Amino acid sequence: MNHTRLIFHLDMNSFFASVEIAHDQRLKGKPVAIAGNPEERKGIIVTSSYEARAKGVKTTMPLWQAKKRCPNLIILRPNGERYRAASKALFEILYSYTPLVQQVSIDEGYLDLTSYLYEIHPVVLAKQIQERVATELRLPCSIGIAPNKFLAKMASDMKKPNGITILRKRDVQEKLWPLPIEEMYGIGKRTVEKWKRYEVHTIGDLATADKEFIARKFGERGIQLQERANGNDHRAVNPDAYGEYKSIGHSTTLRADTRNHQVIRTTLDQLASRVHQRLRKKDVFARGVQLTIRYHNWKMITRSQKLVNPLQDREELLKVASALFEKAWNGEPVRLLGISTYDLMDRQFAYKQLDLFSYKEDQKRDDLYQTMKQLRERFGEEIVRKGWSKLEGDEK
């Protein structure tokens, strides 16, 4: 395993059908399909359980054809509200492990779990997550483990359902290269024939092809795909990359487990500053704040608070995070702290009912921020700082 990053890709198995089975246990073990317009012959299969797939039922298959292949197929209409609720519960579980979660669809996402490196085996951690999802939600999932997002995504597809697969860079040539080019994540169905026309039939063919040839025929996108075929992908797990589910957060592992209030306060201050900077950069406000604490014994807890007024200000963010910490902390030594904001909204929608006693204070705070921002841009981040000079040492 490449020890610079630890990335998981979690993919729910037959998500819509699995949610329906979790809702009605009588469906367990039966061929179930979710279909649009089940009353009409022109309806198509949205997804199906593995029992249905074993009978030849496939996604996008016409309903009449699916029934022909599986006469006892149980057809259900999509229930969007139920699926969204299950998705929300899923990602709440994932966020309890790290703020660095990137949702890519309703039923899959990436987790950057690099902070767990050297502390717990990746497979043990994956099993823990998988078992929580199965126990708390009654849903199956597969997890890919790798040093980057592309390899993690490819790994999660290798064993379904309920698979856990590690794909190291040193495994690429053996496990990835023999796969047909159409199985590579990022290769669109419409371009498969074009790749094959130029004798690129496998992922290995792409990985070892002449770079200039790939650039000439497929442009920058082709070069990018060739890099990934060789196991290289430097993209970060981006928590605010997915529409309405976006969040902005940071976490840090402390240099030593500590009960020192000064160290904890300074760490929260630094995390609030980093989150605040990103909120300002994207010009968004948060309607929720979440605090993550991991203790010396690796127990992790999260506490969150919905806000009456959306916030962006560092001091307000720190105030909420500190209050959450004081309520949640059990006095045990702290290993990791994280602050994340969620339910983000653009500035134009983030109005605040300012009264006669607060609007001047808000304006002064904004003016101060602009002055500090200009100083930092001109002289560097260290020119203006708040904090304590003594950070570590006596725990008293």
Residues 6+ apart with CB under 8 A from 56: 69, 70
Residue 11 annotated as binding? yes
DSSP 294: E
Residue 133 CA to residue 128 CA, distance in Å, equals 9
Alpha carbon distance, N-terminus to C-terminus of the chain:
40
Tell me, yes or no, if 39 is annotated catalytic.
Answer: no
Residue 393 CA to residue 255 CA, distance in Å, equals 12
Residues 334, 257 contacting (CB under 8 angstroms): yes
Residues 6+ apart with CB under 8 A from 197: none
Residue 33 CA to residue 47 CA, distance in Å, equals 6
Quick one: three-class SS letters along 142-170? EEEEECCHHHHHHHHCCCCCCCEEECCHH
- Catalytic annotation, pick one of 108, 315, 316, 395: 108
Residues 37, 43 contacting (CB under 8 angstroms): yes
Identity of residue 276: H
Burial bucket for residue 391 (CB in 10 Å: 0-12, 13-18, 19+) = middle
Main-chain phi, psi angles of 261, to 5 degrees: -60, -35
Residue 171 annotated as binding? no
Block residue for tokens 């367990």: 28
DSSP SS3 for 290: strand
C-alpha 108: how far from its chain's center?
8
Tally the C-alpha atoms within 13 A of residue 144's C-alpha that lie toward its C-beta.
Answer: 24
Give the annotated binding-site residues: 11, 107
- Residues annotated as catalytic are 108
Give the annotated binding-site residues for Mg(2+): 11, 107
